[in-house]
C-alpha cells in the first residue's frame, strides 16, 4: 500500500484516539468490508468472527450478507440482527442470500454417502440444526431481534458495494460460497472490483486427530457444502485471495482462560461471548480469518499456491485441490495466500483485547435481557 | 397419471404436488392471456418460437431475455431485438443475460444455426436497444410484480432462469410454471445422451428441475417429430407482411443449409413446439415423470433421465463402496410433466396460420 502523507497523519490521529494494538497503524485508512457468513449463533465461530471485525475501530462494515451453511439462512439472519442490536450497530444492513447450495442437494448427498461414506458434519443438514424447517425462525436464546433484514438480495448488495467503492472493499467470506459465486454470475466484474477476497475454507494437510479430518484431510465444510460455488469463486479474477485453512485453524482454541479474561469486561460484546459460548475449546475458524485480515503478522507461515475444489461427483466431490506452477493443469486460476501457521500467543492477546473493548461507533447497545430467550416481540 | 403411480409417489418438495394439480397455464384466468417471459438463444427455431408467441393473443409476452447457447450472447441478443422489431412489438422489453453457462465453457451450435444464428439470413440490425436490467434481475422483478401469474418459457440453456432462482430464492413459489424446450427421454442430439440445451448447461437444468416449480418439459421425444418441409416453406412464402416474409426467408435458408449438408429432411422446430403447448393444449400430451439431470458423467453430462415410478434407482454401486441397494432412497417424486405425444399437423397449422395472417 502506498501510504501518502495524509494517510500517515490519519494513522497518528487514529492511534492517539484508539490505544489498541499497534498493528492497526499498518492500515491507517478506514477499511471497507462486506461480511458474508453462515451466521449460526448465538456466539460460536460465525458470530465471534463478526465481532472481531465489528470491534475493530478502523473498519467500516458496509453490510453482512447471510447464507445457509452452519444453519438455515432465516435463523442465521435473526442471530445476526440480534447481535447488532446487542452491540449497538443496527446501522449495519443485514442482507439475506442463498437458502441452499447452487447444485448440491441434501437428497443427492445422502445417496452419495451411501456410496462413499458418512460426512460427519453437514451444517444445516445435520441434526439437531435441521430439526426446524428452513424458513422458520425459532425462539433465540439471546432474544429475537426487532429490526429487520434489508430487502435487497445478497448478491446484488455485494455487487453494489464494489461498484460504490471500486477496489476498496474486502469480501470476507466465512460460510459456503454461494452468495459470492452468485455475485460473480450477476456481475462478471464483481471480483476484479473488490480489493481482496478473504475466506475461511479448505483443508490441505492438517496435523490432527480430529475425526472430521483424520481420514479426509482435503475435506472442509465451507468449500464442500457448495462445491460449484467454491470453484466459481476461485476461478474469478480477484486482486488478492487469502485463505484460512483447517491446517492453521486447528492451532487455535477458545480456551477457558480466554473466556475468563473476557468475562472481566462488562461491555456488550464480552458479555455476549461469555454468556453464549456453550463450552470452551472450539476452534477459532472464522475468527482467525478475520484477525489475520486485520493484522497479517499473525500468520507465521503461508503457501502461495493455486487452490480449487473438486467438481468430480465421485468420492472427491467438494474436496480442496492445490497445485504449484509445476503441476497445475491448464486452467485459469490465480494464486492464493494459504495460511499454514499462526502466532498463537499474539492472536490470543488480540482476541481478548478486542472482545473486551467497547464496541466502536456503537449507538444504543441493548443490554442482555435478564432471562435469555425472552423475545422483545 | 395412473392411480397406482400416484399412490406410490411421495410428492415433495411441496410444489411438486402442484405440478400434478395445476391446470395448463393457458387455461388460467388472465382474461385468456397467459403472461410469459421468453428466455431464448435465437437461433433458427427460437426465431419461429418468438414470432409465434408475439403473434398469439393467448400469450402476453412480458419480456424476452437472451442467453448464450445456439450462438454466443453477442449474437442472440441482437437477434432477439431484430425479431421483436420484425413483429412490430417494440413494446416488449428485451434483456441481456448470461454469456456463458454457470460453471462450464460455452459450446455453441452455429453448425446448425449459421454463424449469425438465423441461418445466414441478413436482416438489417434493429433500431431497438436492450433494457439496462440484466435478464435474471428482470425475471425476478416481473415474477414478484405478477405473483403466480408468469409462465417462464425457457427455450435455450437454462442459465438465466437458474441464476434468477438462485439470486432470489423467494421467487420460487411465485412462478406460475416453467415450460421448457430441452432434454429427451429417448437419446440426445448433440451427444447420444444429451439434448443441446441441457448439454450446454446441465447444472442450470438441474437447478430448475430441483426447484419445485411446476415444469412442462418439451424434449426431443416430440420435437423430432415436427420437421419443416418444403410444403411449409411454400405456405410461409405465400403469406403477407414482414413476419411471414422473415419466417419464409429463414425457413428457406435453413432448408438449403440442410440440403448442402446432404440431408433430405428439414430441421426440427423444437422451440415453437414448446410455445405452441401454451396456445393449443391439444397439440401435446404430457405424462408425469421424475426427471433428473446428469451433471457428473464424463460423456453423458446433460442427459435427462425420467422415472415413471419407484424405485428410482441410480447406478449400481462399485464393489469398494457402500451398498446402495439396502440403504438408498428410491422414493419417487414427480417434478415435471413431459411431452410424450404430438399432433404434428395441428402444430404446423397453428404455426403457419399465426405467422402468415396479420
Residue B176 pLDDT > 90: yes
User: Which candidate, B205, B151, B155, B157, places its Cα nearest to that of B174?
Assistant: B151
Q: Which residues of B are catalytic?
A: 270
Residue B197 pLDDT > 80: yes
Q: Which pLDDT tens digit goes with each residue over B16-69?
A: 344 444 444 444 444 679 999 999 999 999 999 999 999 999 999 999 999 999
Residue among B103, B134, B163, B209 with most chain A CBs within 10 A, to mutate: B103
Using DSSP bridges, classify how beta strands B59-66 and A320-323 pair: parallel, antiparallel or unpaired.
Answer: unpaired
Q: Which pLDDT tens digit goes with each residue over A68-96?
A: 999 999 999 999 999 999 999 999 999 99
The answer to whether B176 and B148 have CB atoms below 8 angstroms apart is yes
CB pair distance less than 8 Å for A102 and B207: yes
Mark out the alpha helices in B114-219 (DSSP H runs).
135-145, 159-167, 196-200, 202-209
CA–CA distance, A298 with A372 (Å, rounded to integer): 35
The end-to-end CA distance of chain A, in Å, is 47
What sign results for the dihedral spanned by CA atoms A299, A301, A304, A306?
Answer: negative
**pLDDT number for residue A189:** 96
**pLDDT number for residue A285:** 97
Residue among A153, A183, A331 with most chain B CBs within 10 A, to mutate: A153
Write the residue in A110, A153, A228 that is nearest to B168 by C-beta: A153
Residue A364 pLDDT > 90: no
> Residue B24: phi, psi to the nearest 5?
-55, 140
Q: C-alpha cell of B295?
A: 451433471
User: Which candidate, B353, B123, B149, B121, places its Cα nearest to that of B251?
Assistant: B121
Instruction: Work out the mean pLDDT of chain A and round it to a whole number.
Output: 90
| Residue B10 to chain A, least CA–CA distance (Å) | 13
Interface residue B321 vs chain A (CB under 8 A):
yes
Strand partners, B150: B35
Chain B residues within 8 A of A188 when measuring between CB atoms: 99
CA–CA distance, A135 with B189 (Å, rounded to integer): 41
CA–CA distance, B59 with B150 (Å, rounded to integer): 10
Which residue ranges form the domains of chain A, and what is each CATH number?
29-356 (3.90.245.10)
User: Which candidate, A260, A202, A267, places its Cα nearest to that of A233?
Assistant: A202
User: Which candidate, B135, B164, B189, B163, places its Cα nearest to that of B302?
Assistant: B189
Q: Nearest-5° angle of CA B138, CA B141, CA B142?
A: 85
Chain A residues within 8 A of B301 when measuring between CB atoms: none
CA–CA distance, B286 with A192 (Å, rounded to integer): 47
Sole residue written with cell 416474409: B245
Using DSSP bridges, classify how beta strands A169-173 and A299-309 pair: parallel, antiparallel or unpaired.
Answer: unpaired
Separation in Å, CA B321 to CA A5, A105, A116, A227, A315? 64, 20, 6, 22, 10
CA–CA distance, B160 with B166 (Å, rounded to integer): 10
CB pair distance less than 8 Å for A313 and B295: yes
Mapped onto helix, strand or coil, the DSSP state of residue B49 is helix
CA–CA distance, B234 with B335 (Å, rounded to integer): 40
CA–CA distance, B348 with B358 (Å, rounded to integer): 17
Residue A23 pLDDT > 50: no
DSSP B275-301: HHHHH-TTSEEEEEEEEEE--S-TTTT
pTM: 0.84
The answer to whether B164 and B65 have CB atoms below 8 angstroms apart is no
CA–CA distance, B318 with A4 (Å, rounded to integer): 63
Strand partners, B94: B64
In this predicted structure, which of A116-130, A203-217, B106-120 has the lowest mean pLDDT?
Answer: A116-130
CB pair distance less than 8 Å for B210 and A105: yes
Q: Which pLDDT tens digit goes with each residue over A284-295?
A: 999 999 999 999
CA–CA distance, A197 with B47 (Å, rounded to integer): 42
> Residue A244: phi, psi to the nearest 5?
-95, 115
Q: Which pLDDT tens digit goes with each residue over B292-326?
A: 999 988 899 999 999 999 888 887 776 666 655 55
Beta-carbon contacts of B58 under 8 Å, excluding residues fewer than 6 positions away, are B26, B32, B33, B34, B278, B279
Q: C-alpha cell of A52?
A: 472481531
State ipTM: 0.77
CB pair distance less than 8 Å for A98 and B318: no
Using DSSP bridges, classify how beta strands B304-307 and A335-342 pair: parallel, antiparallel or unpaired.
Answer: unpaired
The end-to-end CA distance of chain B, in Å, is 39
**pLDDT number for residue B46:** 98
Query: If you count DSSP H runs as helices and E runs as strands, how many of each does chain B have, helices first?
Result: 15, 9
**pLDDT number for residue B91:** 97
Sole residue written with cell 507461515: A301
Q: C-alpha cell of B21?
A: 394439480
Interface residue B160 vs chain A (CB under 8 A):
no
> Residue A301: phi, psi to the nearest 5?
-150, 135
CA–CA distance, A176 with A67 (Å, rounded to integer): 7
What sign results for the dihedral spanned by CA atoms A135, B212, B139, B95?
Answer: positive
| CB hemisphere CA count around A275 (13 angstroms) | 22
Interface residue A155 vs chain B (CB under 8 A):
yes
Residue A3 pLDDT > 60: no
CB pair distance less than 8 Å for A102 and B328: no
CA–CA distance, A311 with A232 (Å, rounded to integer): 11
DSSP A254-266: --HHHHHHHTT--
What sign results for the dihedral spanned by CA atoms B244, B247, B251, B257?
Answer: positive
Residue A327 pLDDT > 50: yes
The answer to whether B118 and B79 have CB atoms below 8 angstroms apart is yes
Q: Across the A/B interface, how many CB contacts are shorter than 8 Å?
A: 66
Q: Can the peptide bond before residue B329 be classed as cis, meaning omega within 30 degrees of 0?
A: no
Which residue ranges form the domains of chain B, and what is each CATH number?
3-311+330-356 (3.90.245.10)
Give A301's DSSP letter: E
CA–CA distance, B277 with B36 (Å, rounded to integer): 13
Give B87's DSSP letter: T
- DSSP element (H, E) containing B34: strand B34-40
Write the residue in A182, A186, A228 that is nearest to B103 by C-beta: A228
Amino acid at each position: 500500500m502506498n501510504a501518502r502523507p495524509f494517510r500517515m497523519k490519519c494513522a497518528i490521529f487514529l492511534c492517539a484516539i484508539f490505544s489498541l494494538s499497534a498493528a492497526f497503524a499498518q492500515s491507517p485508512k478506514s477499511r471497507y468490508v462486506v461480511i458474508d457468513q453462515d451466521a449460526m449463533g448465538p456466539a460460536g465461530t460465525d458470530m465471534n468472527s463478526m465481532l472481531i471485525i465489528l470491534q475493530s475501530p478502523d473498519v467500516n462494515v458496509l453490510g453482512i450478507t447471510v447464507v445457509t451453511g452452519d444453519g438455515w439462512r432465516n435463523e442465521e439472519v435473526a442471530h445476526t440482527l440480534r447481535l447488532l442490536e446487542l452491540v449497538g450497530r443496527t446501522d449495519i444492513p443485514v442482507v439475506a442470500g442463498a437458502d441452499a447450495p447452487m447444485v448440491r442437494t441434501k437428497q443427492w448427498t445422502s445417496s452419495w454417502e451411501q456410496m462413499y461414506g458418512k460426512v460427519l458434519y453437514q451444517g444445516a443438514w445435520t441434526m439437531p440444526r435441521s430439526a426446524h424447517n428452513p424458513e422458520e425462525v425459532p425462539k433465540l436464546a439471546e432474544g429475537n431481534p426487532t429490526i429487520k433484514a434489508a430487502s435487497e438480495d445478497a448478491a446484488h448488495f455485494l455487487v453494489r458495494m464494489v461498484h460504490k467503492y471500486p477496489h476498496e472493499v474486502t469480501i470476507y467470506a466465512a460460510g459456503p460460497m454461494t452468495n459470492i459465486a452468485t455475485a460473480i454470475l450477476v456481475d462478471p466484474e464483481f471480483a476484479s472490483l473488490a480489493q481482496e477476497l478473504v475466506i475461511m475454507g479448505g483443508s490441505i494437510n492438517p496435523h490432527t486427530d480430529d475425526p472430521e479430518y483424520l481420514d479426509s484431510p482435503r475435506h472442509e465444510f465451507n468449500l464442500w457444502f457448495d462445491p460449484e460455488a467454491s470453484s466459481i469463486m476461485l476461478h474469478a479474477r480477484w486482486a488478492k485471495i487469502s485463505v484460512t485453512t483447517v491446517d492453521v485453524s486447528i492451532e487455535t482454541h477458545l480456551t477457558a482462560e480466554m473466556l475468563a479474561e473476557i468475562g472481566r469486561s462488562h461491555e456488550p460484546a464480552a458479555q455476549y461471548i461469555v454468556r453464549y459460548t456453550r463450552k470452551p475449546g472450539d476452534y477459532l475458524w472464522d475468527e482467525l480469518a478475520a484477525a489475520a485480515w486485520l493484522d497479517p503478522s499473525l500468520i507465521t507461515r503461508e503457501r502461495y499456491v493455486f487452490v480449487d475444489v473438486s467438481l468430480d461427483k465421485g468420492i472427491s466431490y467438494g474436496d480442496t485441490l492445490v497445485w504449484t506452477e509445476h503441476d497445475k493443469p491448464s486452467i485459469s486460476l490465480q494464486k492464493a495466500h494459504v495460511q499454514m501457521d499462526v502466532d498463537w500467543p499474539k492472536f490470543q492477546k488480540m482476541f481478548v483485547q478486542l472482545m473486551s473493548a467497547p464496541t466502536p461507533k456503537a449507538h444504543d447497545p441493548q443490554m442482555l435481557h435478564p432471562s435469555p430467550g425472552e423475545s422483545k416481540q | 397419471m395412473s392411480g397406482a403411480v400416484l399412490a406410490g409417489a411421495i410428492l415433495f418438495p411441496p410444489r411438486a404436488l402442484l405440478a400434478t394439480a395445476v391446470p395448463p397455464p393457458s387455461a388460467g384466468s388472465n382474461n385468456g392471456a397467459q403472461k410469459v417471459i421468453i428466455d431464448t438463444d435465437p437461433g433458427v427455431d427460437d426465431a419461429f418460437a418468438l414470432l409465434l408467441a408475439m403473434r398469439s393473443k393467448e400469450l402476453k409476452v412480458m419480456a424476452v431475455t437472451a442467453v448464450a447457447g445456439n450462438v454466443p450472447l453477442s449474437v442472440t441478443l441482437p437477434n432477439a431485438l431484430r425479431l421483436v422489431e420484425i413483429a412490430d412489438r417494440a413494446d416488449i422489453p428485451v434483456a441481456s443475460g448470461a454469456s456463458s453457462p454457470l460453471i462450464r465453457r460455452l459450446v455453441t451450435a452455429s453448425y446448425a444455426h449459421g454463424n449469425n444464428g438465423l441461418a445466414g439470413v441478413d436482416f438489417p440490425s434493429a433500431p431497438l436497444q436492450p433494457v439496462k436490467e440484466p435478464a435474471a434481475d428482470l425475471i425476478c422483478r416481473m415474477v414478484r410484480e405478477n405473483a403466480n401469474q408468469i409462465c417462464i418459457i425457457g427455450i435455450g440453456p437454462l442459465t438465466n432462469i437458474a441464476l434468477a432462482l438462485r439470486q432470489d430464492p423467494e421467487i420460487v413459489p411465485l412462478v406460475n410454471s416453467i415450460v421448457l424446450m430441452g432434454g429427451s427421454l429417448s437419446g440426445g442430439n448433440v451427444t447420444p445422451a444429451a439434448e443441446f440445451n441441457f448439454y450446454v448447461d446441465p447444472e442450470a437444468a438441474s437447478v430448475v428441475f430441483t426447484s419445485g416449480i411446476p415444469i412442462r418439459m418439451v424434449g426431443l421425444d416430440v420435437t423430432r417429430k415436427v420437421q419443416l418441409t418444403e410444403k411449409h416453406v411454400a405456405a410461409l412464402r405465400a403469406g403477407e407482411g414482414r413476419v411471414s416474409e422473415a419466417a419464409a426467408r429463414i425457413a428457406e435458408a435453413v432448408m438449403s443449409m440442410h440440403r448442402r449438408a446432404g440431408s433430405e429432411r428439414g430441421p426440427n422446430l423444437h422451440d415453437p413446439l414448446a410455445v405452441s403447448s401454451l396456445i393449443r393444449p391439444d397439440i401435446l400430451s404430457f405424462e408425469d415423470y421424475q426427471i433428473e439431470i446428469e451433471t457428473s458423467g464424463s460423456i453423458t453430462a446433460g442427459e435427462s433421465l425420467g422415472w415413471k415410478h419407484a424405485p428410482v434407482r441410480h447406478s449400481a454401486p462399485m464393489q469398494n463402496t457402500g451398498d446402495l441397494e439396502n440403504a438408498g432412497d428410491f422414493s419417487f417424486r414427480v417434478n415435471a410433466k413431459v411431452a410424450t405425444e404430438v399432433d404434428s399437423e395441428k402444430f404446423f397449422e397453428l404455426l403457419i396460420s399465426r405467422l402468415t395472417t396479420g
